[in-house]
A and B are shown apart, each in its own frame.
Chain A
Amino acid sequence: GENVEQHPSTLSVQEGDSAVIKCTYSDSASNYFPWYKQELGKRPQLIIDIRSNVGEKKDQRIAVTLNKTAKHFSLHITETQPEDSAVYFCAASRGGTSYGKLTFGQGTILTVHP
């Protein structure tokens, strides 16, 4: 089955700096890659996603890049703010009998210091 590895497990930055979180996946049939933000005690919230037919997607301060050949994708947050502090999860999904099922990475605890 699919395996998603996420790094780093913790990331500490100063307000205004950029943060980058990287994920690799094992299943070349995966075609959907969402990123979730989870605050303490809350539900995961989708912040951005990318499908396998594009290499990059941007939404204000957040961008995701995908390299299908290397089977890795990354989340980039620019101009970080203290409210960006949370746990971030990458995930991967494919079609077929696993349609809709997400395999999550291990999570990255991001701390943005004022």
Chain B
Amino acid sequence: GEEVAQTPKHLVRGEGQKAKLYCAPIKGHSYVFWYQQVLKNEFKFLISFQNENVFDETGMPKERFSAKCLPNSPCSLEIQATKLEDSAVYFCASSQSGGAVDYGYTFGSGTRLTVV
């Protein structure tokens, strides 16, 4: 389809629990990007993939965050031992081969994670 599908739409976790978010990119799009948008609206880049390979992970808090894009499966972002400050909307975006510069992004509708 022509939409980036993110699931679930909302996720509530107790502090210290695990959270797993999913993203199905648009078919034919080779690049996947994850961003975190906190309550003050600012977007923080987390990680990008080119197909199943990590392309840029400079934004990932590596001690608790991990991500994967496996063939024939939705991409996933996992947070171990969630903290209150992880509460945010997590957006996934995909783009055709060439990345945002050549073809632009399509964003998913986001997953709102609330850590209580």
Contact = CB atoms under 8 A, between A and B. Distances in A.
Are A and B bound to each other? yes
Contacts, number: 65
Nearest to B104: A46
A35 B14 CA distance: 36
A106 B56 contact: no
Contacts of B35: 102
B109 interface: yes
When A and B form their complex, which 8 residue pairs have the shortest distance between CB atoms, in order from nearest? Answer: A100-B99, A104-B43, A107-B41, A43-B107, A32-B101, A100-B100, A99-B99, A43-B109
Interface of A: 1, 31-32, 34, 42-46, 49, 51, 87, 89, 91, 93-95, 97-104, 106-107
Nearest to B101: A32
A104 B41 CA distance: 10
Of residues B35, B101, B107, which shows the largest number of chain A Cβ atoms within 10 Å of its Cβ?
B101
A98 B56 contact: yes
A19 B109 CA distance: 27
Given A89-B43, A106-B41, A107-B42, A100 B104 contact: no
B100 A93 contact: yes
Nearest to A96: B56
A99 B105 CA distance: 12
Interface string B29-66: 00101010000111101001000000110100000000
Contacts of A45: 107
